[in-house]
Amino acid sequence: MAEHNELGKQGEDAVAAYLASKGYRILHRNWRFLKDELDIVAETEDHVVFVEVKTRSNIIFGEPEEAVTKKKQRFLIRAANAYIEKNNCTKEARFDIISVILPSHPVKINHIEDAFYPTL
């Protein structure tokens, strides 16, 4: 596995553990629709949460969450719509971005709830 893929997997593992510790229920990891992927699908009592995980080894080129462009958001929204339809979700949907800086001790996690909203 390429080094950047391994870093991404470590970041997703850290985020899954973080979310579980906050009471989220992890429904899926790396859920795919066509070419699009949802890193983590979780739920709270009130929401189904689509989580985009961005992991970096440093912030030389900016904060990881800055990499979630409008184009990337459109892909996530498209995949989330497919997920909702396929799974008959009735809870309100939310899009979160969680950035991770690895390796750092402790792991630096920045959780941005309601990071963006679907637009018409």
Residues 21-46 pLDDT 10s: 999 999 999 999 999 999 999 999 99
**Token duo for residue 73:** 């958001």
CATH number of the domain residue 60 falls in: 3.40.1350.10
Report the residue count for the chain. 120
- Long-range (24+ apart) CB contacts under 8 A made by 35-38 are 35/75, 36/75, 36/76, 36/78, 36/79, 36/82, 37/79, 38/76, 38/79, 38/80, 38/83
Residues in a beta bridge with 56: 101
Which of the four pLDDT bands, split at 50, 70 and 90, describes residue 107?
confident
Question: Domain limits at 67?
Answer: 3-116
Q: What is the pTM of this model?
A: 0.91
Which of the four pLDDT bands, split at 50, 70 and 90, describes residue 106?
confident
For position 31, what pLDDT does the model report? Answer: 97
What's the number of domains the chain is made of?
1
Least confident of 3-7, 32-36, 50-54, 77-81: 3-7
For position 115, what pLDDT does the model report? Answer: 95
**Residue range 40-60: average pLDDT?**
93
